[in-house]
Structure 1
Amino acid sequence: MALSLVAGGCAPIDLGVFSPQALSRVVPEPPGAACARGGQAVRTGLDVNGDGTLGDDEVTSTEYLCAGTVLVRTETLAPGDACPTGGQVTKAGQDLDGDGVLADAEVTRELTACTRVAPVLTRLRPVSWTPSCSSGATMLEAGEDVDGTGALDDAEVQASYGFCMVDSTRVRSEVHPEPAGGRCGQAGARVDAWPDLDGDGQRQPDTEPLTTLTVCQPTRVHDGDYLVGSAADLAALQGVTRVDGDLVITSETLDVLGLPELVVVMGTVRVMNNPRLAQVSLPHLRFARSIELRENPALETVSIGKTDGPPVFVDEDVVVGDAPKLASLEGLTPLNPRRQLRVQNLPQLQTLSFPHITHLSLNLTVEANDALRSMSLPNLVFATNVWVTDNAALESLSGLATLRSADQLLLAVLPALTSLSGLDGLTSLRELTVAECAGLKTVTIPHLTQVEQVGIQDNPSLESVSGMPVLQVSRLLRLSGNAVLHELKDLSSISAMHTLEISRNPALKDLSALGRLVRLDLLAVHQNILLEDLSGLAGLRELATLTVAHNPALRNLGMEALVSTTEWFDVQDNPLLPTCQAQRLADRVHTGPPPTRTINGNNDQATCPNP
């Protein structure tokens, strides 16, 4: 009711009472103290300023509708444009009203999975080595022809077996259906194979053993990438056996990731940035392009495939890192990546084992795992790069006993490592670097033959570089900053290279282990406190550049066999070295112009005997 009063000589005054409207708004509530798994916050208050919206300063009370049970509803999808052979639609969401029925308004994720089966194909190829065959073998590989080309591609291989010393013309195989509930859990296929030793086309049970490969054929396929951000998203994925795209799990709320029926992911399985995720289980996964488990601070248990089952083929990379609570990778032992394995920043990890890996076309990286004491890759023969760095407790490299060759081997910041024993099978490298290994006493790789570049530097306890009688270095040998290195021994096959650098080795006195070195482009000898002469380089004949500097005990250049230095002759700041000796050597061998000859800071007072 409005009232009006009239004062003398004044217009009426409206004394109506203003009544603000009550408003409410619903906003998402992240996981936290109010709702452990998130939900919705219902905020109410009065529209004091009359603008028709409820501002934050107008909220007088908040009620929470926390996420409850996730419900799932499936609907059969008839054959059509979406799924030519039919399929199903799965809908999932939180039961917000608690009635046990998923209403349309509660659906937050919908997924279409088409029923599809690709034909199973096999292929044969010769290989020089397998974990069970020390010599040649024929590799039988099986998988689904997912792209429909009629040929089995590398990315489609799900299972393989090597027939030792059996020619490909003698391997027989047959594809048979595998019923649901068998080896795969759901319908699949098996490949029965045997060596036809007598060539009759029939298997002789007593002499021709049967081998069975299993190919788990997906029956429900999601086409495209799939992102799991909530429990409802995960629930909608249950029952899908293949994802034809990337599977990405990034969630603020998930505690457990379990997909017991998932068999194939044609893209990358990426489990990343999940603050609450403690457990990952993909027990029937048989193939993925890549698998990444990164930045999951609560992760304690991970299992992919079955530890007593066949290998899980990963066409590209396996990356596990930044999981401070993850103490074991035992559940990942079935993984067999072809391109890269990277294990890093797992501070509680003590051991790692990947028995199925034989070749890595890119990198093996084991980095910054503070508690790691040992690693086992018992069948690894080749990796382009092997980088083992910053593992404070690593005591042994015995887990790399079968490694034969690599492009680059980097061993750095390994304070508990005392020797390189375990690398006895290594024969060929492009580059070897051993650096900042505080406990390392010796560097010995007995069968190493061909290396372009060797760097052994800043190892404070290193005493000996020895026991490599067949080693040949073509580009660079650097021995630098090794505080107690006093022994070079059994390096007799080194005869020519581009650069030899001997620097900052205060205990080194003798270079005679390099006495068979004949030709260099650059010889650099710097800051070796106890080194008195270079006569150990008795065989050296040809040099482009000689630089000898800051060796306080050096008295004799030696190198009587030296014939020429063609580019630079630089001998400086060796206080006990007679200047006349350096000048005499330069006069005899240096063929460069005068500006390329520098001799100063040596002993000008010393005399030299007549030649």
Structure 2
Amino acid sequence: MSGAGGAGQECDPGRVTTGVWKATRQEDLEGLRGVTELDGTLDISGEVHDLSPLACLTTVTGELLIGDTRSLAHLDGLRSLSFIGARLALIRNASLLNLEGLRSLRQVAASIEIRDNRLLQTLVGTVVSTPEWHVADNQSLGSLAGLEHVEEATLWIEGNDQLTTLYGLRNLRRGLLGLIDNDALTSLAGLGAVEELDELIISRNDRLVSLEGLERLTTVQQLSLWQNRHLSSLYGLDGLVSAGTIEISSNDSLTDLSALAGVTELSQLAVSENSGLVSLTGLEQISKLVGLHIRENPRLTSLEGLNGLRDVVNGIGILGNPALTSLDGLGSFSAGGGLIDLVDLEGNGALVDIDALGGLARVNQLAIKDNDALLGLTGLEDLAELDWLILEGNRSLATLRGLGARTIHDSIRITDNESLPSCEVEAFMERLDGPPDSVLEEDNGTGTCSP
């Protein structure tokens, strides 16, 4: 009896082999000739160059691993294979040209990994259902043709130096998408069907200049934009309404966030190390955050764009923004509301006032460190209660009179503020309802205090 696709072999539907089968030489596959099901794992590597002994194989219940082969150019011997019960991995096959031999494969239960096959130019032949794809470091792969059937999946597309188009993903609607280190990719055209993603990671794509192609995306749980050095705008995200976390980091050509103007729901926002960013315009509709972190954006002079913000539940960190002169634009916190966990203002060398924090009444930890131009703490008059207070290394800070706190439970650390007279610290301590558990006051100024 000869099975379909059996290439003339006698295929016995009842012939099952069990266990882990490793083949490093061509003759190692002969024991699977005529076998239709392998109940276990098949691991092919080394000198194997012809898969025709597997022509009857329809099922592998475990993993199918084909890796580190030298002369295997095609997968034609797998034309009967329809099901893999775990992972399919095609890794470091020096001569592999195409995946045409997988045309009968319909389901891979765990994931498909196609990595570091230097001559592979196309994925055509993979009309298969699987929850997760890894396509990485295939130096000759120019497109994702062959993935047109994918509507929902986890996809990691990484390190494919010749990849220029994403049209192979034109039917993708939801899932997770990672586009990382694809140096020739200039456009996201082809992603026009994407509506909702659990996670979208776009990182180290050196020629990508915008996000056009994502116009139908309305919801994403986590959006990460990292180290895309020529990304000059976020256009393409104009339809985005709801996000869990947005992280925008080290995109040197990005100047503003105006394409995010449609976002009304957001939990975490982190904007860091964007050397060309001059504005946060585009965030005006966001009224509540769990966390806000603005760090090391050297040209950012203002927080305008956050004007609609009324509440940050866990904390805010404004760190290392050397051109930022004030917190104006941060929003208007209502008295008794606002941040309840952490306020961390550190290393903002031009910051001269923090008036925008007015209205805060209860903060667990307030840390103000190394802000060389900050003269006073005006803006914190309504802040009545703290657990920890840290004032450290603020070269120009001369008074604590703007700090309204009357209760500090755990710790006060006021050190290395060279313009702050110790008598200012003593006067502040006298205003407290009672001493905290720990107090450290040292290396501050020696000047006098006005009455």
The residue aligned with 1:401 is: 238
Q: Distance in 1 between matches of 2:35 and 2:95?
A: 21
Gaps of 5+ in 2: 17-32, 37-49
Question: How far is the alpha carbon of 1:224 from its aligned partner?
Answer: 5.8
Partner of 1:161: none
Task: Quote the residue 1:293 is aligned against.
Answer: 135
The alignment status of 1:73 with 2:7, answered yes or no, reads yes
Cα distance in 2 for residues equivalent to 1:351 and 1:262 = 32
Inter-partner Cα distance in structure 1 for 2:442 and 2:11: 89
How far off its partner does 1:543 sit? Answer: 1.7
Matching residue of 1:598: 440
- The alignment yields a C-alpha RMSD, in angstroms, of 3.1
Alignment counterpart, residue 112 of structure 1, candidates 35, 50, 56: 56
Q: 1:343 aligned to 2:179?
A: yes
C-alpha spacing 1:360/1:262, structure 2 compared with 1 (3 Å): farther
2:256 corresponding residue in structure 1: 419
Displacement of 1:432 in angstroms is: 2.0
C-alpha distance in 2 between matches for 1:408 and 1:280: 32
Question: Equivalents in 2 of 1:585, 1:418: separation in Å?
Answer: 42
- Judge conservation of contact 1:72–1:90 (CA < 8 Å) in 2: no
- When residues 81 and 276 of structure 1 are mapped into structure 2, their CA distance, relative to the original with a 3 A threshold, is closer
Secondary structure of the 1:331 match is helix
Q: Does 1:269 align with 2:213?
A: no
- The reply to whether residue 438 of structure 1 matches residue 382 of structure 2 is no
Kindly indicate whether residue 315 of structure 2 is the aligned counterpart of residue 476 of structure 1: yes
Q: Which residue of 1 aligns with 2:296?
A: 458
Supply the distance in 2 between the matched residues of 1:383 and 1:438 (Cα, whole angstroms).
25
Change (3 A) 1:599 1:242: closer
Q: Superposition pairs for residues 136-175 of structure 1, below 5 Å?
A: none
* Whole-Å separation in 2 of the counterparts to 1:483 and 1:412: 17
Q: Deviations over 1:122-150 (max 9, x none)?
A: xxxxxxxxxxxxxxxxxxxxxxxxxxxxx
Q: Look up the match of 1:387.
A: 224
- The amino acid across from 2:332 in the alignment is S
Deviation string, structure 1 residues 33-80 (Cα, Å, up to 9, x no partner): xxxxxxxxxxxxxxxxxxxxxxxxxxxxxxxxxxxxxx9824575765
Are the aligned partners of 1:304 and 1:335 in contact in 2 as well (CA < 8 Å)? no
User: What amino acid is the match of 1:492?
Assistant: S
What is the Cα deviation at residue 461 of structure 1? 0.9
* Counterpart-to-counterpart distance in 2, 1:590 and 1:582: 15
Q: Does the 8 A contact of 1:433 with 1:455 survive in 2?
A: yes
Whether the 8 Å CA contact 1:543–1:564 is kept in 2: the answer is: yes
Partner of 1:319: 156
Secondary structure at 1:570 match in 2: strand
CA distance 1:232–1:325, change in 2 (3 Å): closer
Q: Secondary structure at the match of 1:426?
A: coil
Shift of 1:558: 2.6
Larger Cα Rg: Structure 1 or Structure 2? Answer: 1
Instruction: Pick closer, same or farther for the CA change 1:524–1:560 going to 2, 3 Å.
Output: closer
Evaluate the alpha carbon distance shift between residue 423 and residue 286 of structure 1 in structure 2; reply closer, same or farther with a 3 A threshold.
farther
C-alpha displacement at 1:567, in angstroms?
1.9
**Equivalence for 2:417:** 574
Superposed CA offset, 1:318-340 (max 9, x none):
011122222222223333452x2
Q: What is the match of residue 236 of structure 1?
A: 77
Residues 76 and 100, structure 2, Cα contact 8 Å, conserved in 1: no
Which residue, out of 376, 383, 387, partners 1:540?
383
> Could you tell me which residue of structure 1 aligns to residue 332 of structure 2?
492
Deviations for 1:68-96, whole angstroms, at most 9, x for unmatched residues?
xxx982457576567xxxxx9799xxxxx
Alpha carbons of 1:262 and 1:409: their partners in 2 closer, same or farther (altered >3 Å)? farther
- The aligned runs of 1:138-287 (5 Å cut-off) are 225-227=63-65, 231=72, 234-238=75-79, 245-250=86-91, 251-258=93-100, 261-262=103-104, 264-267=106-109, 268-282=111-125, 285=127, 287=129
Please tell me the residue identity of whatever aligns with 2:151. F
Conserved 8 A contact 1:580-1:608: no
In the alignment, residue 264 of structure 1 is paired with which amino acid? R
Q: Which residue of 1 aligns with 2:26?
A: none
Question: TM-score, normalised on structure 1?
Answer: 0.60
Q: Are 2:213 and 1:366 equivalent residues in the alignment?
A: no
CA contact (8 A) 2:246 2:269 kept: yes
The residue identity in structure 2 corresponding to 1:274 is: N
Identical counterparts, % of pairs: 24
Equivalent residues, number: 406
Structure 2 CA distance for aligned equivalents of residues 223 and 599 of structure 1: 68
Q: Supply the distance in 1 between the matched residues of 2:35 and 2:423 (Cα, whole angstroms).
A: 91
Displacement of 1:263 after TM fit? 6.7
List per-residue Cα deviations over 1:515-563 (Å, max 9, x = no partner). Answer: 1212111111111121111112232222222221222222222336432
| Secondary structure at the counterpart of residue 138 of structure 2 | coil
Whether the aligned pair in 2 keeps the contact of 1:458 and 1:480 (CA below 8 Å) is: yes
Q: C-alpha distance in 2, partners of 1:422/1:107?
A: 51
- Cα distance in 1 for partners of 2:240, 2:267 equals 14
Q: Specify every segment of 5 or more residues in structure 1 that has no aligned partner in the other structure, as ranges.
A: 1-70, 83-87, 92-105, 115-220
Supply the distance in 1 between the matched residues of 2:13 and 2:114 (Cα, whole angstroms): 33
> How far did residue 385 of structure 1 move?
2.6
Partners of 2:123 and 2:319 in 1: CA distance: 46
CA contact (8 A) 1:287 1:314 kept: no
Cα distance in structure 2, aligned partners of 1:568 and 1:466: 33
Q: Higher strand share goes to which structure?
A: 1
Q: Cα 1:225–1:574, aligned 2, differ >3 Å: closer, same or farther?
A: closer
For residues 232 and 484 of structure 1, what CA distance do their matches in structure 2 show?
57
Post-superposition CA distance 1:5-45 (Å, at most 9, x none): xxxxxxxxxxxxxxxxxxxxxxxxxxxxxxxxxxxxxxxxx
Contact 2:387 2:411 in 1 (8 A): yes
**Distance of 1:531 and 1:592 partners within structure 2:** 26
**TM-score of the pair, normalised by structure 2:** 0.80
State the distance in 2 between where 1:246 and 1:567 align.
Answer: 53
Work out the CA distance in 1 between the residues paired with 2:77 and 2:370.
68
- The amino acid of 2:250's aligned partner reads V
1:516 alignment partner AA: G
Change (3 A) 1:411 1:232: closer
- Contact kept? 2:123, 2:145, Cα under 8 Å: yes
Tell me how far apart the structure 2 counterparts of residues 544 and 586 of structure 1 sit (CA, whole Å).
14
Q: What SS is found at the alignment partner of 1:73?
A: coil
Q: Is the 8 Å Cα contact of residues 270 and 291 (structure 1) preserved in structure 2?
A: yes
